[in-house]
Structure 1
Amino acid sequence: MPKRTRFTPWRPLATAAAAALTATLLAPAAAHAAPRESRPVHSYDDAVREAVWVDTGLDEDRDGTSDRVAVDIVRPREPARQGREVPVIMDASPYYSCCGRGNESQKKTYDADGDIVGMPLFYDNYFVPRGYAVVGVDLAGTNRSDGCVDVGGRSDVQSAKAVVDWLNGRGRAYTTRTGGERAEADWTNGRTGMIGKSWDGTIANGVAATGVEGLETIVPIAAISSWYDYYFSQGAPLYDSGPDWLSDYVESPDARARCATVQRELAEGAPRTGDLTPLWTERDYVRAAKKVKASVFLVHGMQDLNVRMRHVGPWWDALAKNGVQRKIWLSQTGHVDPFDFRRADWVDTLHRWFDHELLGLDNGIDREPMADVERAPDQWVTAPAWPPRGTGTATLRPARGTEPGVGTLGLRQGDGTETFTDDPRLSETDWAARADTPTPDKAGFVTGPLTRDLRLSGASRVTVTASAGTPTAHLSAVLVDLGPDTIRDYADDGEGITTLTDRTCWGPSTAGDSSCYKETAARTTDVDHTIVSRGWADLGHHAGDGRGEPLTPGERYTITLDLAATDHVVPEGHRLALIVAGTDRGLIDPPADTPALTLDLARTFAQVPFVGGTAAFARATAGSRTTAPATVLDGVRRPDPTAHRVPGETR
């Protein structure tokens, strides 16, 4: 495992301007003590609200002029009057006009002069009075920006990077989209933090991976780290469309009329074969993690089936390897913002994070635990590092049981074979509901009841040696906690939350921008099993070189499936199951054929990270019976295969 680094103490800003700014953000009684927290001392009602268009230096729409992106700004008026500079919180998004942001799908609104009146989300209401500027950037090709959407590529990333450059005196901006006077960012010190959920957070990852100066921190929420892994899993397609569909979904009508070339390049560069092409390589931010200078506060739902946890493990490990300061929250939700599953704690933590990273306040957040993990609905635990120190990989091996199709899972090598037939009508919840019952559609391997709790933390890998009876075949591997529990109902439309009618307010409001949002509560369900982690692959991509090939029926192939990272405790008395099957309905598309697959158990195994490693697994399974109890029941509705999700979709 890469060496993980803890936070290092913050080096305070050593400039007179920074010291003066810090002093003004404190309550009068606290001004003589060491600053701990920025205070709401500035007028939100009287804040400066303006728009500029930043030159990106690109001409993606091929109209012969450099593309400009629209930047809407809300900033406190008082510091500017006094000649003081403020830091920036920036959310760069493609969704400000097409789809909206947040649980209530807010869109930007403007006055007759084109200046921002309503900025989505609470960031401006809460942080502007505390001495921050809040900036909303329309990605190229969306809302009021020029250019084309290229779904995580150069145009998307440059849309936001150019703004960071301008904030730091390295770029050009103008007061109108097509002309106007030069606009200077003389009101900011350039220290920028990017934040956003889904596509917005993805752009934060992408900009950080450029190493741009002035980007001090990013807060990616449910964000993509590699666009290939959004559309494919080791060659297996995850959606029935590609990035050209997504680009068309968010582009402005003007851009849609001028961006046919980019649309064609997106379609041609992302073949449904699942092959790794230059288009995907360009959109892999993990490969560029060594350039990241910004600290990272990462938030993700462990049951997010839109932007899956597969986007967390490789990115987190790459950041750790390169010594990046990190913090992480992992919830039991699906694709949900922490403002909607842990609101008060989130606002407080985000406030202290930005104070620490952008204002340099020594508020102690760097000495707090690195990780917060939701163990049960609204029940959180912390850890000084994630995965925890002492986590080690155990190699678990499947073995034949007394009946075909239901085997055991343990440390001893098995032998023989198991055969199943891909049934695209079934999903992981169908398999888990019959994990210890022989069925023709999967091979299941189950431990006996655990004699003590067993914690998984991190990403697992399942190596499968199999032969198929057809030229194409897909594989799924799923780890399941077999036992009763109450969990967030991530398969429901709310993905683990219910929106209430009461509102709470997070800062001052104006007539055009309310700080009050509907409260939420955990939506729970009682289950008899919990899907812990899953992974998928096209067996034709067994060579691992990014290219698929037809299978020779009957020939054995070995492939290692990367399962998504997680953090889960299998309680005493529950059982841990490994299920290997074909198409996971609603989560991957089926292959061209309907193959029968035969597993070689002697060459099939799972590498699972347990806190305590192999010894912890051995202790938890010592003396347990391996005979299976009665069949467990399916307690969670399976994902709807007809519901096409997009990264920024909100509930």
Structure 2
Amino acid sequence: MPIPARRTHRLWGMFAAAVTAALLAVLVAPTAHAASAPRASEPVYSYENAVRESVWVDTRLDGDGDGRTDRVAVDIVRPHEPAAQGRKIPVIMDASPYYSCCGRGNESQKKTYDANGNVVQMPLFYDNYFVPRGYAFVAVDLAGTNRSDGCVDIGGPSDIQSAKAVVDWLNGRAKGYTTRTGTARAKASWSNGRTGMIGKSYDGTIANGVAATGVEGLKTIVPIGGISSWYDYYFQQGAALFGSGPDGLANGVESPEARARCAAVQKHLVDGAPRTGDRTALWQERDYVKDARKVRASVFVVHGMQDLNVRAKHFGQWWDALAKNGVDRKIWLSQTGHVDPFDYRRGAWVDTLHRWFDHELLGYDNGIDREPTADIERTPDHWTTDRVWPPAATATTALRPAEGSAAGVGTLGLEPGRGTETFTDDPALAETDWAAQIDASTPGKAGFISRPLGKDLRLSGSSKVTVTATPTTTSAHLSAVLVDLGPATVRDYTGAGEGITTLPDRSCWGASTTGDSACFKNTRTATADVNSTVFSRGWADLGTYANPDKGRPLTPGKSYTLTLSLAASDHVVPKGHRLALIVAGTDKGLIVPASTRPTLTLDLARTVARVPVVGGAAAFAAATSGSGVAAAYAYAADGLSTFRQDRPVPGGSTR
């Protein structure tokens, strides 16, 4: 369903007048015959003459234990004209730990400053594009980074409070200062308090976390590839996803000053995040999903369905929790990896983001709340829309594996499972290796395949796979993946650009100044031809069979039942292809191997994949029956539009 229009929109009278060469907008009362509201903010303010200032906001925390509360640095660019006219403006904010250590965007831009410490370059296009349209752009250095006090604590209270305190300051509830250590106060008298947070990766994660506090004044967030639970970034049900913990990331983003004084916080990150994969109190306070009921802001989720850094489970569980709590929301899902939509769908993205902020922060009735909720990339650069997501006709469908022919290839269908399958964990094999050998019995995996499809079959949402397995050793890791078997051209998400190639030419998105260009390198789609596509995946330590939060040793020869959560996705398995479920051990490059190399025997009568099929079990039966009945389950009834190419969007000029 469309996002509810729950806000009262202000009606503005408009007329055009040549007041200066900059064409400032003048507000007047509507006449009886010409009452109209603005549909879009226009670039009528001077970017070159914008106010550029820095403020340090008191977080009311003392993370580094130096006896005084930490202040975080806030760099601001805002048009000077509204304040001169006595009008207040909304804020777009990106709170990040990366402004000095690592950079933002496809070109790794960092903040730069002049000799007096005034900001010259803000990374990305947000300031260049939105400040001339009447917004302030605010870039916050998280605690312990760049010019801020305190310590980095990887999504914990200090990180979240760093950004929340700035929202409070913009709404007159927190103290700000003109310097890092001085007493001269700074007030956001130019702000109307209405704030929207945006950012990719860690930045989008902070937006999620701040929204989960329910802070007043935060009207919308746009998390791009954001984390929703830090435990699920480093582990999945006891299985380690990376070789190091949060202390490694903290050390990478902290300023030299913070690194010298934050040993206690670093030790807490090590001690509180044991490599056993047990869920501790540290992870509990970094879980934003559990606090979705507090979210007041609308949420525009953007994620790559093949993101193998911030994996797709993050957007799925966050989206489901927001839906459960009635949060206004919108979603874009691409075929890319960890990529910003500015770099894979630039024109449409800038246009959509512009309209989203105009609606959420300026109150413009531009219709975006009545448009489809979801945009989904089906094939490279071809997108479809859904009125609601997942579609209303989606139903959890139990697919069961069974022993196959003498060749040892198992089957996947609606009938009860039967028999057993055995495999040995081989950490040298990845999910692509398993899929490439799906039609043969190999020792490193157990594979189960549906009949060839007589029509397209769409899976939309999150899946769960329950397995009953008997190990030969005291520890074991399990992987489960869903695979589309058939030839396709996909975005090359495993390549260096994770689905894009960066070009030398540039396009411009907003106004530029000396030192802060609005022109960014263009990209093109990077594709790969494949014979199989893994589109959903999940992992777990079998030792968490009794408690997903804590592992325990296994008894060799004893059977254990465990449910793995697979990442959310939206994938159409085309007519003529087959759907496969693969269960195996270590997924090379995606999880860390267990301490042993077990052989596991699956009891197929007690193993099942519960997948979100559009049309439910009837649609699966029709697609695999080869009969004409399949025509009864046309996707149009489920809210899926036809393929469409993106239309050109004004605003980008190539040079």
Fold match, TM over 0.5? yes
Q: Which residue of 2 aligns with 1:645?
A: none
Deviation at 1:179, TM superposition (A): 1.1
Which runs of 4 or more aligned residues in structure 1 lie more than 4 Å from their structure 2 counterparts after TM superposition?
18-32
Aligned equivalents of 1:510, 1:266: Cα separation in 2 = 41
Aligned equivalents of 1:406, 1:154: Cα separation in 2 = 50
1:350 and 2:336 matched: no
Aligned equivalents of 2:593, 2:445: Cα separation in 1 = 15
Aligned equivalents of 1:105, 1:589: Cα separation in 2 = 29
Structure 1's 84 and 29: CA in aligned 2 closer, same or farther, altered over 3 A?
closer
- Between 409-418 and 565-574, report the one with greater CA deviation: 409-418
Structure 1's 27 and 509: CA in aligned 2 closer, same or farther, altered over 3 A?
farther
1:7 and 2:3 matched: yes
1:44–1:129 Cα contact (<8 Å) kept: yes
Structure 1's 423 and 275: CA in aligned 2 closer, same or farther, altered over 3 A?
same
1:364 to 356, 363, 367: 367
One-letter amino acid matched to 2:333: L
Q: Which residue of 1 aligns with 2:106?
A: 103
Q: Under a length normalisation based on structure 1, what TM-score does the superposition of the two structures give?
A: 0.93
1:56–1:68 Cα contact (<8 Å) kept: yes
Aligned equivalents of 2:501, 2:182: Cα separation in 1 = 46
Aligned equivalents of 1:456, 1:412: Cα separation in 2 = 19
Q: Secondary structure at the match of 2:489?
A: strand
Q: Secondary structure at the match of 1:287?
A: helix
CA RMSD of aligned residues (A): 1.8
One-letter amino acid matched to 1:362: D
Q: Which residue of 2 aligns with 1:197?
A: 200
Q: Which residue of 2 aligns with 1:646?
A: none
- Between 69-78 and 309-318, report the one with greater CA deviation: 309-318
Q: Which residue of 1 aligns with 2:135?
A: 132
Structure 1's 503 and 27: CA in aligned 2 closer, same or farther, altered over 3 A?
farther
- Between 468-477 and 29-38, report the one with greater CA deviation: 29-38
* 1:301-322 superposed Cα distances (whole Å, 9 cap, x missing partner): 0000000010011110110111
Q: Which residue of 2 aligns with 1:614?
A: 617
Q: Which residue of 2 aligns with 1:52?
A: 55
Aligned equivalents of 1:332, 1:473: Cα separation in 2 = 31
1:74 and 2:70 matched: no
* 1:218-259 superposed Cα distances (whole Å, 9 cap, x missing partner): 000000000000000110000000000000010000000000
- Over the matched positions of the two proteins, sequence identity in percent amounts to 72
Structure 1's 92 and 21: CA in aligned 2 closer, same or farther, altered over 3 A?
farther
Q: Which residue of 1 aligns with 2:594?
A: 591
Aligned equivalents of 1:134, 1:86: Cα separation in 2 = 10
1:143 and 2:139 matched: no
Deviation at 1:402, TM superposition (A): 1.0
Q: Which residue of 1 aligns with 2:269?
A: 266
1:461–1:563 Cα contact (<8 Å) kept: yes
1:444 and 2:440 matched: no
Q: Secondary structure at the match of 1:129?
A: helix
Aligned equivalents of 1:19, 1:360: Cα separation in 2 = 14
Counting only pairs closer than 5 Å after superposition, residues 176-191 of structure 1 correspond to structure 2 as: 176-191=179-194
1:427 and 2:427 matched: no
Q: Which residue of 1 aligns with 2:558?
A: 555
Deviation at 1:11, TM superposition (A): 2.4
* 1:566-612 superposed Cα distances (whole Å, 9 cap, x missing partner): 00000000000000000000000000000000000000010010110
Alignment size in residue pairs: 618
Q: Which residue of 2 aligns with 1:486?
A: 489
1:26–1:35 Cα contact (<8 Å) kept: no
Deviation at 1:386, TM superposition (A): 0.5
1:211–1:292 Cα contact (<8 Å) kept: yes
Aligned equivalents of 1:209, 1:368: Cα separation in 2 = 26
Deviation at 1:6, TM superposition (A): 3.8
Deviation at 1:10, TM superposition (A): 4.5
Aligned equivalents of 1:553, 1:474: Cα separation in 2 = 14
2:457–2:620 Cα contact (<8 Å) kept: yes
Q: Secondary structure at the match of 2:567?
A: coil
Q: Secondary structure at the match of 1:564?
A: strand
Aligned equivalents of 2:319, 2:565: Cα separation in 1 = 15
Deviation at 1:403, TM superposition (A): 3.0
One-letter amino acid matched to 1:377: P
2:13–2:29 Cα contact (<8 Å) kept: no
Q: Which residue of 2 aligns with 1:544?
A: 547
* 1:614-647 superposed Cα distances (whole Å, 9 cap, x missing partner): 11100000149xxxxxxxxxxxxxxxxxxxxxxx
One-letter amino acid matched to 1:436: D
Aligned equivalents of 1:115, 1:108: Cα separation in 2 = 10
Deviation at 1:544, TM superposition (A): 2.9
Deviation at 1:20, TM superposition (A): 9.8
Q: Secondary structure at the match of 2:404?
A: strand
1:580 and 2:576 matched: no
1:173 and 2:173 matched: no
Aligned equivalents of 1:30, 1:299: Cα separation in 2 = 38
Deviation at 1:545, TM superposition (A): 4.3
Q: Which residue of 1 aligns with 2:645?
A: none
Structure 1's 139 and 304: CA in aligned 2 closer, same or farther, altered over 3 A?
same
Aligned equivalents of 1:294, 1:622: Cα separation in 2 = 46
Structure 1's 411 and 514: CA in aligned 2 closer, same or farther, altered over 3 A?
same
Q: Secondary structure at the match of 1:459?
A: strand
Structure 1's 189 and 565: CA in aligned 2 closer, same or farther, altered over 3 A?
same
- Structure 2, unpaired ranges of 5+: 18-22, 628-655
Q: Which residue of 1 aligns with 2:280?
A: 277
Aligned equivalents of 1:591, 1:350: Cα separation in 2 = 43
Counting only pairs closer than 5 Å after superposition, residues 462-477 of structure 1 correspond to structure 2 as: 462-477=465-480
Aligned equivalents of 1:138, 1:518: Cα separation in 2 = 25
Q: Which residue of 2 aligns with 1:157?
A: 160
Structure 1's 398 and 107: CA in aligned 2 closer, same or farther, altered over 3 A?
same
Aligned equivalents of 2:321, 2:287: Cα separation in 1 = 12
* 1:46-67 superposed Cα distances (whole Å, 9 cap, x missing partner): 0000000000000000000100
Structure 1's 180 and 512: CA in aligned 2 closer, same or farther, altered over 3 A?
farther
Aligned equivalents of 1:387, 1:576: Cα separation in 2 = 20
1:247 and 2:250 matched: yes
* 1:108-135 superposed Cα distances (whole Å, 9 cap, x missing partner): 0011221111000000000000000000
2:469–2:561 Cα contact (<8 Å) kept: yes
Deviation at 1:26, TM superposition (A): 5.4
Counting only pairs closer than 5 Å after superposition, residues 307-456 of structure 1 correspond to structure 2 as: 307-403=310-406, 405-456=408-459
- Structure 1, unpaired ranges of 5+: 625-651
